[in-house]
Chain A
Amino acid sequence: MSGFMYEIKKIMLHQKGLCYIVLVLLLGTIWLVASDNPYNSAMEQYKSEYEWYLEKVNGYCTDESSLYLEQEAERIAEAKGKKSYLLESYYDGKISESEYKKESQEIENVLEHQNGFEVIYQQYLYTCENAKNRYFLQTNGWTGLLGGGTLNFVLFLGILLIVTPVFCSEYSCQMDALILTSKEGRKSSLHKLLIVISGVLLMCVSISLIEYGFYSLKYGLPNGNYPIQSLSYFAGSNKNITLFEGYVYIGLLRLFGSVFLAILLMFISVLAKKYAVTLLAGAVSVIIPYVGLSKTIIYRLPLPLPFLLGTDFFAGDIVLSDAFTGDEKIVFAEINTITLLILFSVSVFLCILAAAWILRSNSNKWQMKTRKIRNVPTLSIILSLVLTMTGCSDNGKSQNFIYNSSAEYDCMGYEITQDAETFDYYLKNTSTGEMLHLVRSPMFGAFSDEEKVCAFCVCSPYLYYTTSVTESYVNRIGNYNSSTTKVSVIELNLDTFEEKIVFEQITNSGRSLFGIDYETGDKWKFLEFHYDFFINDDSIFFIGKDGITEVNRFTKGITKLDIPTSGNISFDGENIFYKNEQSVLTRYHVLSGETFTYEKVVASDFCIDEQSIYYVSRTDGSRVYSCNKDGNNKRLISDTPAMSVTCDAGNIYILAKESGENIVLSKSR
């Protein structure tokens, strides 16, 4: 067996190099799958609708596609107006059923893909800003693959584990001197260098290919020949490259960064000859600048870190406006190609020097001179670490219940009131008149206007409410992710007045950890805009203007329900009742996802209780009817034309259409 093969066996098997490579690839893949969120969740949610429009405008934003989108926007706006008018006309008997069906079919054709249109229109607004290099395409895959630019910690730790023992193991048992006395010994360091670099390259290429495969399978990576500026992350970039080229270049830079780190580690291990020093220097050379320096400085340092990150070499200037003074501040200055080439050249030169030093220090000739320069290792490490810092000065218990979104809250003898001056919410005991603070924490809202109650839901004996709390620490640009908004769902037991938080989530997509900014996607943004919610044992349903979002209480999985929220929404613990776009009462079973339409119940308003549905009939002069939950046993409740109907445990409340009078009907009657 040749010396090279022995070295491979030693590094890959005895020092467990192969095991670490497999572990890095495995953990890296698990992390990738577990942590990925679509950058634009609407694009993913309405994928087929979005693709329908994308087929028509894909690519360069031409005058024709611009005109088409503008006309489509008008058509959709018109269709929405016409749809409600048509419905009103039909229910008022102004048009026949056949006329209604014919015309509504045409409207439905226009509105068929409206959710996707919202997405493409947002993209259109983005491409309009610079139509020359911004194209229409599906961005989630490419943004996931190229954007972000955060350090791959698994890869970093893997490199530390594989590279550090290569020389340190020889030094710890003083085998290094012995190796040099053998015939093949002098080549040993060259073999080590080649094996380590090959191993690191293998690891990096595999990770790049895994990432490509993952994003390609999950979102698709079409139109790789489009300009990189088509992604908002690279909006201001002046580099004339395509998306695929961007992937290749970033991949190559990361490849070089990993090799650079490996050579740096080997260089330090040869100098220091100790595990601890090598590991510390390697970790510090990456983590300290990553945490302590701004991106602008990081990407101008001849260290492995900028190459390991890679992405921002192709990003443009990021300019933010100071919210307080209005001044503009460059938080990231673009790296032009010349700077990149200079930095790359300097880094390559440093790598060659380090490699040369490693080879020289492992030759017999060098051994003779070693005693004279014993302090060089320490000095070199200090020098390399000083380089790092030079930039610093520069700059479950809920039971089935009845929920009606339009109804007043029946809180076990309490009434929710809001103080007109302080805007604080109170629970008013309806029998004694005693007022209690709804939020039991005395500190809530006392010192900040950014702590507020958003919505309520009663599920006897619990009252649930949502709060929104915004906290801001260092409120200045450059640290823009220091502001966070947290939405919580709090359970208040109305028997004991014990409070418990059943759900909470930070809604911001931009986060910051030790000054490292990163994106988590916009999946929780909807929480900021919810105005109502209801809950069962498994899920919380947040109602916003754009629909209902179901959040699993245990897995925090999100499902967007295709339910219009323009009218009343009711929930009996298993089914959501709502009016569909034709005002026909519809039931959605939350577990099975099945939808049932009450064909005969066309309602302008409705409400439910445990047994019955009460509704204002849209087709029968706005009279109020009741029926069972299966739609049978239809009964007239009131022949007074009504605007709305609500109910509680004992009564039905009707708002008369003409007189505006509130009519109370007892259920027992």
Chain B
Amino acid sequence: MTRLIRYEFYKLFCKRSILVVLILFSVINLFKINNEFHSYSYLADGNDSRSWNSVYWQLYEKYRGEITTDKINNLLDLYQPLADATADMTASTDTDDPNTMTGNIYSDENILEKYYVQPMEYFYNYRTYASEVAKKAKENAAFYKEQGLNFEVRKNSVIYNLYSGRNIPAFAYQEMYNYYLNYDFSNILVLFLCLYGIISTFVYEKETQMDMLLLTNPNGGKKTVLAKIVAVTLFVISVVIWFSVLDYLGFSFSFGTMEGYNLPLYAISNFSTAAVNCNLWQYVVLSAITKAIGIWTMSMVFLLISMFWRNALIPFVADFGAALCLIITGASQSYSSNIWLKIINPYSLLTNRILFGKTEFIGFAGYPIQSFLAAIIFAIIVGMAVITVMVILSKKNCHCRDRRIKCLDSCTK
């Protein structure tokens, strides 16, 4: 079986056209990531000594690491006079003021506010906010216990456990991770590549009528179908891993740093109510795994659709249309409070910040299940169900002697 899988993998995916598309998409992805940096980061203003980029990294050495009262006071001593001077908008607008870091007093105030004061304030206050949530959850749990609502009791207990002890002890650069976690473009590329890769899985043999011939082989029929499914799974996982690594490295190179990888996920303000307590680098791995599951499920559906056609036209357009529908409905429902809609759509697993960014639950037999967990379980169940359908629908091979005789009999009749 292993050999069969290997053969199928080589046959289906080790093709020059797939390699070309992979390289091409990787280059496009890197260009796009670089474009994200230049379009959105205020630090993409060059390496001039008065650029925000230079000023930021000069100050960074001073404020990075554990947040201490000294650092906060020091930062406020630097920032407060600037804030006071610019409050009434009457300060000098000169762009070559020698008494400033960036050449302009407003610019100094802006860089300090955006890159140091706001994040440090958020980091510093997070512990208080999280303990408030934990306290409210504890109160809720006690209240609902009186009301006899077990689901709510359990849910609030989970929230309590999740939020109690949350703390951001150290200050670090997190802008790169903010853009990285909001980056979706590579998902489109992965979808296209997987669609192209797997569309030929069954169609290729049907076009050349090899499917009939395979049924005469001992390893033909269901065994071949299973080998194809495993090969597709391996291909899909490889593609997702490749693009996840590429995304991370691309962002690191474009932004020029990997700093902040040890920060907790909730250090990114959009993830303040994150469903998991993990570091950013752990989340990068978790995100890649979740994406792989989402893409795998979608790929299995694509594969099932392609089973019924003799050429790639209808399956490609149908799969492409289905993917578009999932993307559009998934994106439009990403702000919805209807958690089931997010769970049943594998697109949520691709742009998994929808699931990991918020602490949301669904009830199952009176027990609360976090949305990301439910989505993963649902996707795996759907994927396995589709595989079962494919195996059931695939033709059996006629190698079996009795069956072959029956076949021959029927043919001669």
Contacts and interface: CB of A to CB of B under 8 A. Distances in A.
Interface of A: 153, 157, 160-161, 164-165, 168-169, 172, 274-277, 279-280, 283-284, 287-288, 291-292, 294, 324-325, 378, 381-382, 385-386, 388-389, 392-395, 436-437, 440, 442-443, 446-448, 471, 473-474, 476, 478-479, 484, 486, 488, 496-498, 501, 504, 506, 513-515
B182 A392 contact: no
Contact of B316 (A153, A276, A389): A276
22 contacts: A153-B324, A157-B320, A276-B199, A277-B17, A279-B312, A279-B316, A279-B317, A280-B316, A325-B107, A386-B24, A388-B28, A389-B27, A394-B35, A442-B132, A442-B136, A443-B159, A474-B178, A474-B179, A488-B337, A498-B149, A498-B152, A504-B336
Interface string B174-192: 0000110010110011001
A586 to B, nearest CB: 37
Interface string B309-324: 0011110110011001
B317 A161 contact: yes
Among A153, A325, A382, A443, the one with the most B-chain Cβ atoms within 10 Å of its Cβ is A443
Given A276-B196, A279-B316, A292 B28 contact: yes
Nearest to A322: B42
B114 A276 contact: no
Interface residues of B, number: 73
A277 B192 CA distance: 11
A571 B188 CA distance: 50
Contact of B313 (A275, A280, A474): A275
A570 B358 CA distance: 38
A157 B133 contact: no
Contacts of B320: 157, 160, 279, 283
B42 A325 contact: yes
A486 B34 contact: no
Contacts of B184: 514
Given A157-B321, A378-B20, A280 B192 contact: yes
Contacts of B188: 287-288, 291-292, 514
If over half of B's interface residues share one DSSP class (helix, strand or loop), that class is named, otherwise mixed; here it is helix
A442 B273 CA distance: 10
Nearest to A476: B40
B16 interface: yes
A440 B136 CA distance: 9
B251 interface: no
B147 A496 contact: yes
Among A172, A382, A484, the one with the most B-chain Cβ atoms within 10 Å of its Cβ is A172
Contacts of A443: 133, 159, 273, 358-359
Given A157-B320, A275-B313, A497 B147 contact: yes
B259 interface: no
Given A279-B313, A486-B335, A392 B32 contact: yes
B163 interface: yes
B163 to A, nearest CB: 7
A276 B312 contact: yes
A473 B357 CA distance: 12
Nearest to B195: A280
For the complex of A and B, the 3 pairs showing the least CB-CB separation, nearest first, are A392-B31, A275-B312, A442-B136
A479 B272 CA distance: 21
B31 A393 contact: yes
Interface stretch (B56-64, B137-145, B212-220, B297-305): B137-145
B164 to A, nearest CB: 11
Contact of A447 (B31, B114, B273, B311): B273
Nearest to B52: A325
A516 to B, nearest CB: 10
A542 B53 CA distance: 48
Contacts of A292: 28, 32, 185, 188
B149 A497 contact: yes
B110 A324 contact: yes
A388 B21 CA distance: 13
Nearest to A297: B35
Among B35, B40, B179, the one with the most A-chain Cβ atoms within 10 Å of its Cβ is B35
A513 B328 contact: yes
Contact of A284 (B139, B192, B313, B359): B192
Given A172-B311, A288-B28, A514-B188, A506 B132 contact: no
Contact of B28 (A274, A392, A497, A515): A392
Given A292-B188, A443-B273, A473-B270, 12 more contacts: A157-B320, A168-B311, A275-B311, A276-B312, A276-B316, A280-B192, A280-B196, A378-B20, A443-B159, A443-B358, A471-B270, A486-B335
Interface string B3-45: 0000000000000110011001001100110110011101000
